[in-house]
Amino acid sequence: MPAIDHTPRLALIKILADGQFHSGEKLGQELGMSRAAISKHIKVLQQWGLDVFRVQGKGYCLPSALDLLEEQPLRAKLNTTDFSLIPVIGSTNQYLLDRVGQLASGTACLAEYQQTGRGRRGRTWFSPFGANLYLSMYWRLDAGMAAAMGLSLVVGVSMAETLAQLGAENVKVKWPNDLYWNDRKLAGILVEMTGQAGEAAHLVIGMGLNVAMPDTNAVDQDWANLKDTCHTLPDKNKLAAALINGVTDALKQYEETGMTGFVERWDRYDNFNGRAVKLLLGERVVKGIARGINEQGALLLETEAGITPYLGGEISLRADE
């Protein structure tokens, strides 16, 4: 199936991104189309999650100015030239997974809107246009799949450190794959991989970071926006580049020295260390006190039986209130 050409809709968004009113007639003139065609495109933008509204006599408007990702500023700030900015995509993770054989390690993919953004175990990642960051990176890990265990933790620590450097306050990590703020989900990390046992692992690391997401009932748990953690929020190009550069450095270090050093870095940002938690393991629930992580990336849970390490993708951690 040929890909849909979103050029007119993206041009429309660029005009509306100033947060000012634009009449249907003027938009039509600027984009070389009828007012009816503009109205149709606006409906699609609304489906993409943009809250475009219309006032009689004034025209179309967004509730506030929109900070958009752009090729040139990204290129200027990223430490790699291997990246694709694809404003409308199914999933940035899927895009890279489909191209694993053709990519250099460190290649990034960024989007403004994901039609089928995903979380762990087939769950949906709500990805409205322009509100948040949706990005993925490809990494070839010569040490193979077994070495990939601690990876989402390393990425989480790196993201928390970068956000702290940029002025975000109290951003925390939650084992194994989230960033939290005030006990609410700020970002999710999804590591997917392909490869044969005994060979290099091909990893795709996806990061979804809420930046300025409007109120929604599409997310069925407490969540947070970066703009609420940070009074000096940089623009999205700077933010995305800082995160990608930081994760690249962290992955290089992980390749050389594994989890050494990362356990202490994790401890500084751990949202649940010392708190009563429950682990959901399928049907089974284990309660205890979280005691950080070990060098394998396992969660350490203290119960009456002592401290037990828990490792594996099927485990969910929750506060035990």
22 versus 106: smaller Cβ distance to ligand BTN: 106
Q: Does 172 bind ligand BTN (CB under 6 A)?
A: no
Instruction: For residue 176, say if its preceding peptide bond is cis, omega within 30 degrees of 0.
Output: yes
Decide if 268 is catalytic: no
Tell which positions 67-106 bind ligand ATP, by CB under 6 A.
none
Q: Is the dihedral of CA 103, 107, 111, 114 positive or negative?
A: positive
With b for 16 or more beta-carbon neighbours within 10 A and e for fewer, the 184-206 pattern comes to ebbbbbbbbbebeeeeebbbbbb
Tell which positions 193-222 bind ligand BTN, by CB under 6 A.
206-208
Catalytic one of 77, 140, 227, 318: 318
Q: Does 188 bind ligand ATP (CB under 6 A)?
A: yes
123 versus 287: smaller Cβ distance to ligand BTN: 123
Closest separation between CB of residue 185 and ligand ATP, Å?
A: 4
Beta-strand runs (E) in the chain = 53-55, 59-61, 83-85, 88-89, 108-111, 113-114, 133-141, 171-174, 178-181, 184-194, 201-209, 276-281, 284-293, 299-303, 306-310, 315-319
Decide if 236 is catalytic: no
Residues in the chain: 321
Q: Does 152 bind ligand ATP (CB under 6 A)?
A: no
Q: Does 113 bind ligand BTN (CB under 6 A)?
A: no
Q: Does 316 bind ligand ATP (CB under 6 A)?
A: yes
158, 247 in Cβ contact below 8 A?
yes
Decide if 291 is catalytic: no
Catalytic one of 9, 174, 185, 236: 185
Give the residue ranges of the annotated binding site.
91-93, 114, 118-120, 185
User: Which residues are marked as active site?
Assistant: 120, 185, 318
Binding-site residue ranges for biotin: 91-93, 114, 118-120, 185
